[in-house]
Structure 1
């Protein structure tokens, strides 16, 4: 009987699930392994969500941080807008009055050779595509004032902007601003756009590049998307208000025909 009791005692002491030192060590290792697996699962899910957001931002809806006051009062510094990248994806083109985000390379800024910190640029680009950082220096947000074929003139005898001979009542302008302090009379080439900010006295737009190659005209294919919604701050959350300023403007061919 004593031998059997001793044997049973040894069996109990070898069980890692009991309260001995060896059992405690086994339980600790098991908990640590479980915690490690849980941490890895969390990291994996976080990376998966980030990739999904980046893809959604790249092809469907991109948050965009407004970096300057050139579009006030329509858009304010620090606003986060949502750029609809599908707006012009299926044959539609920008229309007069649309507020759009575009790549100004070759029209608003000179093309430069790539260089510098590639990793830093990549990380900044990812943050900007999620609305967490200011956009690249080549990305701009402006209002489309003239499309291909339009004759845009400023200003008429009453100080108004004209498109194809019709005066435009620009109710979206910043209070106190004139339509333009710079006189111009241009015809927009086909496939290009004439862009202007709503805060005319604080906007570097197509007017500032009249004497440069391209004349400040932005190629339609450089348009990233249309600003359709305000996402931040919460007090301004909602769709971006449209404009009737260009309603009734004659088509360009009617003006030149």
Structure 2
């Protein structure tokens, strides 16, 4: 059990009496901390706050009673802003994570620090600045700071990386990876098994050599194949016509030379 056994700070040294604490405890003369706090609060509100203070008079205060000064001098006294470093920590995001043998995993990256080796497998609290996720501030669950864990991979990208930029980067990576997997799967699928391949194109025909008795009963009806076939025939026809007219022109030129 805890109790207060001192005297009022305003009493003189000569008035202080040595107390036999064990005997007082046996006689039930000691107050519990709860009883002491209740009496102290009553004295604070009914005596201390309502009594004039000479110290306030010496400082030239308009209100010399503590409770009056507290209630009426708000424009003169104000609570100072916390230090910038402390305010920055308050604005950080906080989470509880697990420490693995490689450190802490966050945002798809690994954060390491030598001090984390002593917390392998344990839960710890982390804080991080959304505008710079290259490092994590690590604390025990009781609030004691352990270390600052950094991601060497992110530091290779830039000295500061925002959470938004990192999320966009990971999103782009995942999209690219998904597209590459789909393309690879399409290449691995045999041509005739692809769902968008017509059954009558060249890739779906049996191109094995047949016996002499086999006959072609149908040609491919694919539009692209037919267009290519027409273009090929037209080119052959044009080449033949060009060759014919060239030959005729050469004959006519030869006869003119003979006539002088």
TM-score (normalizing by structure 1)? 0.23
| Structure of higher RCO (CA pairs closer than 8 Å, 6+ residues apart) | 1
Computing the radius of gyration over CA atoms, which structure comes out larger, 1 or 2? 2
Query: Where is the strand percentage greater, Structure 1 or Structure 2?
Result: 1
TM-score (normalizing by structure 2)? 0.23
